[in-house]
Amino acid sequence: MKRFFATSLLTLLTLSISPLILAADWHTVKRPTTGPSEIYGSYANGCFSGGIDIPTKSVGYEQVRPSRNRHYGMPAIATFINYLDLWANQRGKILIFGDISQPRGGPANFGHASHQTGLDMDIWFEERTDHLPKKLQESLQTPSVVNPATGKINQHWRPFYRELLFTASQYPETERIFVNPVIKAHLCATEKDQRWLGKLRPWYGHDSHFHIRLKCPKDSTGCIAQAPIPRGSGCDSSLANWVNDQIKWTTAPPKPKAPASPKAPKVLPIECQAILQQP
């Protein structure tokens, strides 16, 4: 009998979860909530209140595809962007930003598994000294800077990209930076002081842009931090495995597998329902 009631209670609780918490319409929200800034959940399963509407253009940067309405984030990332804006402007450069977050975070309808808590952003491998012409603001494409078949960077790599990655990694609140394993391997082979490379984490893709993730703010108790990165530079055999696997998959693609069964949608923190429903 106890087992019956426990099962029934679990069923009722499951059915009582609003479909809004499960993911659907976050991309349709047009503006952030009012009130204090707070994060609920993790980078890939969360939301936030009190987001900052970050300008899509400044003296040292421009966001590509602004029509996506993914230019919102926590005060921490707004401060970080101001830091990069000043750094780029002092060097006569214009950085090209990709997506940050939706107005209240949450799951995107395409393009990202993370970027849900206002602490992630993409920066493109693009070296510019002027802003984008209007025709490219929604259509800019940047080339890959790696040759996945050889495991080497290609002719599109620029020394400026190393400077940009180094600068981003030295920001105190930077938690990690995702780059293609070939990029990290190149830097491991060319940097005399490898200590800063620990924050660069190998991840497939990320060959025409890199992905910056900031730490959970200390005053945001609802933010779930990621496991700490391992100690050391990461310039080791595990990195070589990443590179070699990419070479193998590029030169001898595996046979297609049967489609996997669809995964059950993640359930967002309960606070996200109220955030999504706010006017």
Average pLDDT, consecutive stretches of 10 residues, N- to C-terminus, the chain (279 residues): 38 40 76 95 96 98 96 98 98 98 90 89 97 95 96 98 98 98 98 97 97 97 95 95 96 84 84 92
pLDDT of residue 2: 38
pLDDT of residue 135: 92
pLDDT of residue 75: 98
Instruction: Please give the model's pTM, rounded to 2 decimal places.
Output: 0.89
pLDDT of residue 204: 96
Domains of the chain listed by start with CATH number: 20-250+266-277 (3.30.1380.10)
Structure tokens at 34: 């009012």
Name, in order, each residue with C-beta under 8 angstroms of 64's C-beta and a sequence gap of 6 or more: 96, 97, 98, 124, 132, 136, 137, 138, 140
pLDDT of residue 29: 93
Q: Which helix (H) or strand (E) holds 121?
A: strand 120-124
